[in-house]
Amino acid sequence: MKPLANDTFLRALRREPTPYTPIWLMRQAGRYLPEYKATRSRAGSFMALCTSPEMASEVTLQPLERFPLDAAILFSDILTIPDAMGLGLRFTDGEGPRFERPLRSEADIAKLSAPDPGGELRYVTDAVRTIRRALDGRVPLIGFSGSPWTLACYMVEGGGSSDFRQVKTMLYRRPDLLERILAVNAEAVAAYLNAQIEAGAQAIMIFDSWGGVLADGAFQRFSLAYTRRVLEALHTQREPKVPTIVFTKGGGPWLEQIADTGCDAVGIDWTVDPGQARARIGARCAIQGNLDPMALMAEPEQVSIEARRVLDRFGVPSEGTGHVFNLGHGISQFTPPENVTALVETVHSYSREQRSRA
């Protein structure tokens, strides 16, 4: 493999000096791009797209052809693990992901086991290898998974939820059953991410999308503890080191505790002030975030203003701190691509200006 032509993203995660603030976007390969829609139509279904290494590679690279982003992220879905566990994943237009066999009975939970990443999930590691070859050293590739708690939410609810009634009922009535699911999920996530690392992922992100719906105390027990278990099992201490990012949507109250898991960066959503996050976390790890995705619905000039506001609030990274610019959650499918152009150009140019003035 070629050496990286642009390693700014990895240097920021290592809290090394960078000439500008690197940027990538959660869900950057997706429905806001017409070329993605064309590839998705050619694939015939979302899962057909995910399970084709060649098509997954194609859509992973599409945003890089449009925008000078500083990292690529594997095109896949966080629900590949429970699908490989036999829960029967399907995607319905207008309804989102659903599982045909959600985990509701003690017997089903007792039978649950971690899938083999080299078997049912081989298409994901094949995609990682295909994407690394296609990138040809252009920018780093991020691998990812959902957190054990976030996966459990979908596995018990059977899909998305507005109140998480099923999984929270299990949490309070039968915490032993939920902890059985979480233990299997942690084993599965660690094996899955290690397989991505072996295949060539150069950074790893754990999406704890639903950690913020938990009460204080429950978050530490049912989400954070199992995220830490995954991190401790990852094969990241190699040369070069594979940095890890943990993003808990709604995780503002627990930034210090998330930073103490041993991750290399904490992702923050738009409810957190970047400067305060930097002050709270200090030199423990880098910070990723945190523009409100809806800011990209404004005119390009306003997008630039909002981007500069985030950069000003964080301030110029110093030795011991690092900043990766991102959204506070995934990019909306309704985002005008020209606004992404304005965002990326502003982050690169304005962060260079900040450093020149420092």
Task: State the catalytic residues.
Answer: 27, 31, 40, 77, 154
Pairing of strands 89-92, 96-99: antiparallel
How far apart are the C-alpha atoms of 266 and 247, rounded to whole Å? 6
SS3 letters across the chain: CCCCCCCHHHHHHCCCCCCCCCECCCCCCCCCCHHHHHHHHHHCCHHHHHCCHHHHHHHHHHHHHHCCCCCEECCCCCCHHHHHCCCCEEEECCCEEEECCCCCCHHHHHHCCCCCCCCCCHHHHHHHHHHHHHHCCCCCEEEEEECHHHHHHHHHHCECCCCCHHHHHHHHHCHHHHHHHHHHHHHHHHHHHHHHHHHCCCEEEEEECCHHHCCCCHHHHHHHHHHHHHHHHCCCCCCCCCCEEEEECCCHHHHHHHHCCCCCEEECCCCCCHHHHHHHHCCCCEEECCECHHHHHCCHHHHHHHHHHHHHHHCCCCCCCCEEECECCCCCCCCCHHHHHHHHHHHHHHHHHHHHHC
Q: Is the dihedral of CA 69, 73, 327, 289 positive or negative?
A: negative
